[in-house]
Amino acid sequence: MYNLLPFRFERLKDKEILVNEVGDFLIVPTTTVKRIVDKEIKKDEELYKDLTTWYFICEKSIPELIDLLAARLRTKKAFLNNFTALHIFVLTLRCNQNCIYCQATSRECRESAYDMTQEVMVTAIDLMFKSPSPSLTMEFQGGEPSLMPRLLLFAIETAEQKNEEHLKQITYVLCTNSINLTDEILNICIQYRVLISTSLDGFEALHNHNRGKSDSYSHVVNGINKARTVLGFDRISALMTASEESLKYPKEIINSYLENGFHSIFLRALNPYGLATKYSDWSEYYDQFIDFYREALDHIIDLNKSGIFFVEEFSALILRKILTPFSIGFVDLQSPSGIINSVIVYNYDGYVYASDESRMLAEHGDYTFRLGHVSDHYDSLFYGEKAQKIGLIWANETIAGCSDCAFVTYCGADPVRNYSTQGDMYGFRPTSSFCKKHKQIIQHLFSLIIERKDEVLPIFKRWINSSAG
């Protein structure tokens, strides 16, 4: 007779997906869960061996296995080991574009009241160095941070100088729309090996539509090509955001990325912040996004089958969680949540927020996730009352709906999203758009693994190996 170890399950197609406490899965025929729980699995069945090997059942007493499972769990949660690694600096709210879904509540180019001062920057950098993480990422955002070349240089030089004492590994990332990649900006990028993360929403007409400018695409593509020539081809990556208009063009968007020399795309849904709240009918948007995502993924799989290596990055992140024992650094798919644990935001005005989305709420007058000011003590910001309050509900494993969901190990927690869409940080999974999107994407990936295993698994494995997570 065997003992049961903790696992969860989901019925999909004519199968049951069993997932154990550390994310190992088995795909079995329906009614298997009942047989396992009724202890009807016979020792000579192949399934018995699988269930034992993957910690779904055990013959020995449970305590002997606890240490092994604990080691696996520590590996899965390794992103927590070093605390906050990603530090976002909002250099300015000013912007030179007019995106229809703007989440950052950008301001006109001339409004210098929305720029970060050098004093705020220095204090924020001091806070960053208090993080125990040996690796730090300094990410410069806006508005449009390339409008602030002097502050950008000042920030990096200050960090470099302070790092002579701290000896951390620092990565610099400039999040820019690439419209204003001047020689001054690119020289800073060359000197300090700054990575560029830009946004490209697809082909020319669509990109221009989403930017609210008729000439944005040509400027962005020129900017990308200039940056590639000066910095190196792989120093610039792009993100797309799917507006309602974008959802009509899954294949065309992928093709435009290929035409522009990219070998991957991150299919990113709109988040209900900033201007995006005004422009979208959310109840329909997420259903349509899932259809868009499925069609785009099918097209990407076809491209890979034809010999063109091309990765969908969001799928690759989830697949890394499904198919490997390792953790990933992507803050939206972490539990405990990525906010504070992995990311912190220093706003242009010196206030510190739990995440990028938190400061966007603040721009609309809601300061729920404002942790304090850069002049406050590190402990009161990172371990203070607000952080502790959020910490009570930031792990999927402890909240209703998620705690018994088969996909809990593959998913993430987002109290900010719960708050902004459902009115409280705890959230309610049956009506959560975040849950709906994640569950349907994970289900779709499993459906592909069930129905087209031989065709898709080799492609998925190549994606995982190509990305660091």
**Which residues does residue 339 pair with via DSSP β-bridges, in sequence order?**
343
With contacts defined by CB under 6 A, name the span among 256-264, 323-331, 343-351, 431-439 that binds ligand SF4: 431-439
Q: In angstroms, what is the minimal distance from the CB of 122 to ligand SF4?
A: 39
Residue number with CB closer to ligand SF4 (6 or 232): 6
Residue number with CB closer to ligand SF4 (58 or 395): 395
Contact flag: residue 270 with ligand SF4 (CB under 6 A) = no
Residue number with CB closer to ligand SF4 (26 or 405): 405
Q: Which of 32, 92, 315, 396 binds ligand SF4 (CB under 6 A)?
A: 396
Residue 231 makes CB contacts below 8 A (sequence gap 6+) with 186, 189, 190, 196
- In the numeric block, the tokens 């202890």 are attached to 39
Contact flag: residue 439 with ligand SF4 (CB under 6 A) = yes
Q: In angstroms, what is the minimal distance from the CB of 418 to ligand SF4?
A: 9
Q: In angstroms, what is the minimal distance from the CB of 239 to ligand SF4?
A: 22
79 close to 329: Cβ distance less than 8 angstroms: yes
Contact flag: residue 386 with ligand SF4 (CB under 6 A) = no
Residue 178 CA, distance from chain mean position = 21
Tokens standing for residue 458: 């080799």
Q: In angstroms, what is the minimal distance from the CB of 6 to ligand SF4?
A: 15
Q: Is the peptide bond before 212 cis (omega within 30 degrees of 0)?
A: no
- 21-80 residues in contact with ligand SF4 (CB under 6 A) are none
10: number of CA atoms within 13 Å, CB side? 18
User: How many C-beta atoms surround the C-beta of residue 290 within 10 A?
Assistant: 19
Residue number with CB closer to ligand SF4 (101 or 434): 434
Helix (H, G, I), strand (E, B) or coil at 237: strand
Residue number with CB closer to ligand SF4 (17 or 136): 17
Count of residues binding ligand SF4 (CB under 6 A)?
A: 11
With contacts defined by CB under 6 A, name the span among 188-196, 237-245, 402-410, 457-465 that binds ligand SF4: 402-410
Residue number with CB closer to ligand SF4 (103 or 418): 418
Q: In angstroms, what is the minimal distance from the CB of 432 to ligand SF4?
A: 6
Contact flag: residue 429 with ligand SF4 (CB under 6 A) = yes
Residue 132 makes CB contacts below 8 A (sequence gap 6+) with 82, 83
Contact flag: residue 411 with ligand SF4 (CB under 6 A) = yes
DSSP 178-205: STT--HHHHHHHHHHT-EEEEE--SSHH
Q: Positive or negative CA dihedral for 212, 214, 217, 223?
A: negative
Nearest to 231 by CA among 197, 179, 189: 189
448: number of CA atoms within 13 Å, CB side? 19
Query: What CA–CA distances, in Å, run from 425 to 306, 376, 418, 419?
Result: 45, 24, 5, 4
With contacts defined by CB under 6 A, name the span among 75-83, 246-254, 293-301, 432-440 that binds ligand SF4: 432-440
Residue number with CB closer to ligand SF4 (320 or 429): 429
Residue number with CB closer to ligand SF4 (352 or 416): 416
Q: Which residues bind ligand SF4 (CB under 6 A)?
A: 396, 401-402, 405, 407-408, 411, 429, 435, 438-439
